[in-house]
Homo-oligomer: A and B are copies of this chain.
Amino acid sequence: MKEINRSVVLQSRPQGTPSVDNFAVVDRPVPEVKEGEVLTRTLWLSIDPYMRGRMDDAQSYAPFIQIGAPMTGETVGQVVESRHPDFVPGQIVLGARGWQTYLSSSGSELSVLEDKGAPWSAYLGVLGMPGATAFAGLRDIGKPASGETLVVSAASGAVGSIVVQLAKQAGAHVVGIAGGAEKCRFVQEQLGADVCIDHRNVHDLHSAVAEACSDGVDVFFENVGGAIQHAVYPLLNDFGRMVMCGMVAEYNDKQPAPGPSLFATIRKRLRIEGFIVLDKPQNFSEWRDFATPLIVSGQLRYREQLVDGLENAPAALVDVVTGKNHAKIVVRVADPV
């Protein structure tokens, strides 16, 4: 009945852009379930840009991954066997279980999901970390008011696509930035952004953003960094907020590139603030409570890119880090029983 426990481990640290050669597939026996433990099987694995950072041995908000250890990652799993009072076989659980097919654990990292009509994979994207990130970043830092202008980079991505929709709900003029015509169509036509700028197809990004933001920029939800940051930053209005969520364009840089002059922060009273959604665990439950009905009713839109098989997770992460994915990637590891 039980199978092998397959995991994908970090085999070497990348120099710059990671490749699939930095990973290895390792098969081991499925772990024993000790008293007080619960054995769970992975159904879905989330692939997210932050994983790139964990592959380095640099100081970060989370411990880096040791060579030979499984990659970390959020999963939806199912209870297979339980010697823990809080879990029974068949339950669906959410937790950071890593890139492996089975995990036996104390269950402290798991929360049981109730079936409220949303697809299980949604709990890794729109209802999971990316969605909660958009929600918390806007609520705590961005605070777009009706009539204000919000710019979001990587607007078609897992975080950006929720930022666009929440900012529109708040009454803001929303300008997305994305790479490619197809992504921009999605952002404008499906998500409802007022404008979406294809940064791969403009002569001068700064002018394009300036034209789309005739009243300047009040909130810049920053997912990308690099040239996009340098184009948008000078357009911030007095009392503008810069929500520092990600700088995926610079994750592979060996040395940090210079940023914009901070002089403008004084003159314009800017607030530039970074955050990590994990710092406040209640972000997740608050967002799920708010967003699940909107997902079920179709009011909140999202898309996923499905990848089949745990062994294809490394290539998926490389795609995410290099911007080749067209949507939030979830890896289908197994079907529920």
A329: CB under 8 A from chain B? no
Identify the closest chain B residue to A269 (Cβ): B274
Q: How far is the CA of A265 from the CA of B260 in the complex (A)?
A: 13
In the bound complex, do residue A267 and residue B274 qualify as a contact, i.e. CB atoms below 8 Å apart? yes
**Which residue of B242, B256, B266, B270 is within 8 Å of A261 (Cβ)?**
B256
How far does the Cβ of A255 sit from chain B's closest Cβ, in whole Å? 9
Given A259-B258, A259-B260, A260-B258, residue A276 in contact with residue B265 (CB < 8 A): no
The 10 closest A-B pairs by CB, nearest first: A258-B258, A256-B261, A265-B274, A266-B274, A272-B272, A244-B265, A259-B262, A271-B273, A259-B259, A259-B261
The interface size bin for chain A is 35 or more
How far does the Cβ of A247 sit from chain B's closest Cβ, in whole Å? 5
In the bound complex, do residue A263 and residue B275 qualify as a contact, i.e. CB atoms below 8 Å apart? no
What is the copy number of this chain in the assembly?
Answer: 2
A83: CB under 8 A from chain B? no
Q: How far is the CA of A50 from the CA of B261 in the complex (A)?
A: 18
**Which residue of B247, B257, B262, B274 is within 8 Å of A268 (Cβ)?**
B274
A279: CB under 8 A from chain B? yes
List 6 extra interface pairs beyond A222-B262, A258-B258, A272-B272, CB under 8 A: A244-B265, A244-B270, A245-B266, A246-B266, A259-B262, A269-B279
Q: How far is the CA of A271 from the CA of B246 in the complex (A)?
A: 15
**Which residue of B244, B257, B266, B267 is within 8 Å of A266 (Cβ)?**
B244
A60: CB under 8 A from chain B? yes
Q: How far is the CA of A274 from the CA of B260 in the complex (A)?
A: 14
- Chain B residues contacting A242 (CB-CB under 8 Å) are 262
A-B CB contact pairs (8 Å), 10 listed: A61-B238, A61-B268, A61-B269, A222-B262, A245-B266, A259-B260, A259-B263, A266-B274, A266-B276, A270-B272
In the bound complex, do residue A265 and residue B273 qualify as a contact, i.e. CB atoms below 8 Å apart? yes
How far does the Cβ of A63 sit from chain B's closest Cβ, in whole Å? 13
How far does the Cβ of A79 sit from chain B's closest Cβ, in whole Å? 34
- Chain B residues contacting A53 (CB-CB under 8 Å) are 267
A319: CB under 8 A from chain B? no
- Chain B residues contacting A61 (CB-CB under 8 Å) are 238, 267-269
Identify the closest chain B residue to A62 (Cβ): B267
In the bound complex, do residue B268 and residue A271 qualify as a contact, i.e. CB atoms below 8 Å apart? no
In the bound complex, do residue A272 and residue B262 qualify as a contact, i.e. CB atoms below 8 Å apart? yes
Identify the closest chain B residue to A251 (Cβ): B263
In the bound complex, do residue B261 and residue A257 qualify as a contact, i.e. CB atoms below 8 Å apart? yes
Among the interface residues A260, A262, A264, A269, which one has the most CB atoms of the partner chain B within 10 A?
A262
Q: How far is the CA of A275 from the CA of B269 in the complex (A)?
A: 5
Given A61-B238, A258-B259, A259-B260, residue A247 in contact with residue B266 (CB < 8 A): yes
